[in-house]
Structure 1
Amino acid sequence: MLPMHLLLFFIFAIVLQSVVRGASSLPHPGCPDKCGDVDIVYPFGIGPGCAMEEGFELHCNKSQDGQRNVTYFSNLPVADISLLQGHVRVMSHIASMCHNWSTTYLLDFRGTPFTVSEKENLFTVIGADTLALMAGSRQSAIYVIGCLTQSSPYLAAQEGLCTGVGCCQVALSSSLSYHNISFSDANASDMDGERQCRYAMVVEANKFSFHTAYLNATTFWDEHRGEVPMILNWSVGNETCDVAQNDTASYACRSSNSYCINSTSHSGYLCNCSEGYQGNPYLPGDGGCQDINECALSTPPCPGRCINTQGGFYCQNTKNQSFSHSGAAIISVGLSVTVVTLVIAITCSYLIRERRKLANIKEKYFRQHGGLLLLEQISSGQGTTFTIFTEAELMEATDQFDEKNVLGRGGHGTVYKGTLKNGSAVAIKRCISMTDEQRKKEFGKEMLILSQVNHKNIVKLLGCCLEVEVPMLVYEFIPNGTLFHFIHGSNGSHNIPFSTRLRIAHESALALDYLHSCASPPILHGDGPVGTWTRSTCRRAN
């Protein structure tokens, strides 16, 4: 075992190292906070010990004309820095090819916290019949994109439009850490004039506008002085928020009123101030996120007396009644949740009540049409092939009783073609009304009797639906239409041989004879004025 004094020494060394590590990540006093027109905000810094870590160092140098100071990242001028969005706007170089001069374009951010933003930038090419390529990489992935402009006597470039004629734009395929731009099969000698040029660049989408004057002169280069704005993404470290927060010594969100956000375009994370605070979340204490004095804003947040609090405010009216901003937020959220809950509860209660009401109505119709008796007789073994359908099943089978499924219409109802879940086709008769109360009571019994009819010349009744006001009947589907249509339809009666007409009459008579004489009990069919029917003995062939 180690002696006690050595163990204490090691513990002290570890604690001291953590303190030094934490302190070394903060800027030293005297670090410049501005260079030219750019505010230098931590974790960026100019000079030794001013940046958070390697990669965030900036440089302040004189411009080429020596008239002003310019902030540089590597060799790129910096226009501004955004802490909240994790962006840096830099002035990027333009790749060009003119009659007697050219420039190249290569950017390498590998090993730095920066990537070229995929969302804010576009690969842009200007020139006549110009093909430019951009090869880039992110980690181990390689990306190549191209953009081809066209020129034609039938198509003219349009002011303000970069749609392929003289100018084209392509979205980046990823947030790249390295890329190189080149012209494909380009030769300066094939240009029409000495002032004609071709340009290719990665440019901030919202900062570029195409002008036709760029095609036949060096206007574009002269206006931008060989540089265009480009957005870079940046983030801190390579860990997610969950991992970074476990190491308090290196955790970058130092302000007590800050929170961590995982970067969406780069490995690592960003820091933001909590609601009601503003400032620099990467600094502790007075230099970090500070309370926003809402009461000092040009537009007061409340009509009465405003009293500022840490991270919020509250209003005091003339009756000395106080209303806290944070309390208002809690009450607002609570009221919203209460209202939403109440609306959901009322809606659910209404739906449940309506569903129960509908179920009661369906049960009433089912009982009224003799459904219980029909179920009892089916369960006892009679009419086992008969099916009681629900209204929902028949609506689904007919596509909500769509007009395209109508097979025919009569004085008592409409017949629809339907397809059951098992794929079998059926004919569904939807009657118009049933006013006879006695007939309603005996309907289920009649259905059971009809279901037992089994004759080759009689359409088979497969089932019915009793949970509706007027029952619906389900028959087997006969694909060749009705007998009336066959005799009097488009075929014409003169085309039907006499033998066929005689066979139809004979088989119809057999069907009627079966119904009147062989069915038990006899089924007397009459459609029209009431007639007198006689019952004969069922004759069976020997």
Structure 2
Amino acid sequence: MAEATVVFQIIVLLGSMNGFVKAVGLVNSSCSRSCGNVSIPYPFGIEPGCYLSNSYQIYCDHSFSPPKPMFLNLTEMEVLDISLDGTLRVNYPSVVFSQSRNRFIAMGCNNFASLKDAEEVVICGCMSICNNIPSAMNGSNSCNGINCCQTTIPLDLQDFSLSLQPIDPKHDTDNLSCKFAFIVEQKWFETNLTNPFEILNMSHAPVVLEWLIDARLSSLVTGNNLSYVLDDNSTYRCDNHSSSLGYLNSTLTCSCKPGIEGNPYLPDPQRCTGVSTCLGLLFLLIGGWWSYKVIMKRKNIKRKEKFFKRNGGLLLQQQLSSGEANVEKTKLFNSKDLEKATDHFNVNRILGQGGQGTVYKGMLVDGKIVAVKKSKVIDEEKQLEEFINEVVILSQINHRNVVKLLGCCLETEVPLLVYEFIPNGTLSQYLHVQNEEFPLTWDMRLRISTEVVGALFYLHSVASLPIYHRDIKSTNILLDDKYRAKIADFRTSRSIAIDQTHLTTVVQGTFGYLDPEYFQSSQFTEKSDVYSFGVVLVELLIGEKAISSTRTPESKSLATYFIHAMEENNLLDIIDAQVMKDSKREEIMAVANLAKMCLNLSGKKRPTMKEVAMQLEAIQSLQTTPNVQQNYEEVEYVRSEMYEQWDVISTSTMSDAHPLLCF
């Protein structure tokens, strides 16, 4: 898309005055000092003789109800407010000017917007990336770089050109009408819009301009005051009770001296003096500020208490005090510390997003790098139970191949979980996204599978209470800095009594990994985790996703695809090229036979995690046993039963990245 440039020539207030009149005698009882709901203080005015010069003339348009003041020297823009601090607010169609009180805003997907000076040099700009979900910003007035960006404007901005370009022209499918840029008053933009895109339906938006008195020729000293000679040889100076804030580029501003309040541009009789009044006001302001701080502190404490209860703090305390969890290792973090750690949850810190929330990279005050999971708003009792469950479950686990929970924060609107930081992403990314710079070798795949099954064996048989993970999949297996496996996401995990053999629950899990026996009976056993791990083993062998629409409808499920290849004796035809390159045929067949046993439709015929761990360790260490290569017990599959059961899973339209049921 070609670059689109729109040029705006703006002289920031009063750049070309031809003359001024003297300030003395201007204040007149017949002068109107308001138009509609807007106050018009001197040096601005409506009637002749009531303003400092023609450049300060305001036209009161009575065709509106109430009347609207118009600033004639800026193309009849509506004046919203005039302040004696040297600024005024106007409604301006698209762009303009106080650096501290305006922002440059750009909207659109794949958009780079910039302002350039007269020499076409970029003086400021920002970029917004794409989010194709139209409602992504509904209910939020953030403008943080996704479909909308903002930045400050330069000092003394006058002449400029506006440029809109795609960040990546190759992927820019939007036409230019979908991209916008403008300058707008920052406070108005942040407080009056629930959604930044509302501004696109408006014909005008307020900006803040800075105004100064133009003194073009020279200056002279009269007594103790500095006076300025104007273009018409008359003079103007700040009064005895005011002083000049500066004389820059032939411009003058006045400000009341300490202890004086009122209009600094008017003679002394028009002002009110009074140090005592100012001191009284000062004490009143200090007292009001202190009272405000006390009230806000109490309000903040009550607000945190409310969030703590709503986010399950009382339930968590009850669970932790029961002795089932490791209280010492479950830290309650302060919300301010986590905001600082994540740079106020900056979008640039996002590590990943899912159905349950967003994970941010953070650094604690002691320099430790962590992952902070910001949950979605908990609005159902089931979601609250899952959040508390994950905290309690992870508080019981201490294993090198399980992601460690460092603590949580419940005093915010949504609960926050703090984990150790795992830098190298998920196993799924390395299996399903081509990475020629770092291929996943056969030795690494064997080691990762051994580490995962070792952690699952620990959960099933070594933990103080047996724990079923209930959502084993390649996206829940993370890789640390040494590419060691770490099992994550214990949201749906459950502890069971030692004498229990199963859990009867509403079916939850992920298509492609879900145990068909559990799907039909709603009874989850330790062998259900074995089945899910079997799918992960097949992923490591074949390198394809658990559910894929690119395969034939009857082989949409990877488990079905794999079993069918085993039955037809053509397994080696579908093995991942990297595996074929690195491994021996005997090793492939040993792992394939083990995966086949894990995928048995009958949970009773599947091996335990301990048995799977022993077989994998034997394969990894090349300590072959009669059971490792060929002499596994042959499993009888009734074809009609196998395909009927697996088709329940494979015909689903959901992908492997989405849970079966969410509560």
Question: Under a length normalisation based on structure 2, what TM-score does the superposition of the two structures give?
Answer: 0.32
Higher CA-based Rg: 1
Structure with more strand by fraction? 1
Structure with more helix by fraction? 2
Question: Under a length normalisation based on structure 1, what TM-score does the superposition of the two structures give?
Answer: 0.39
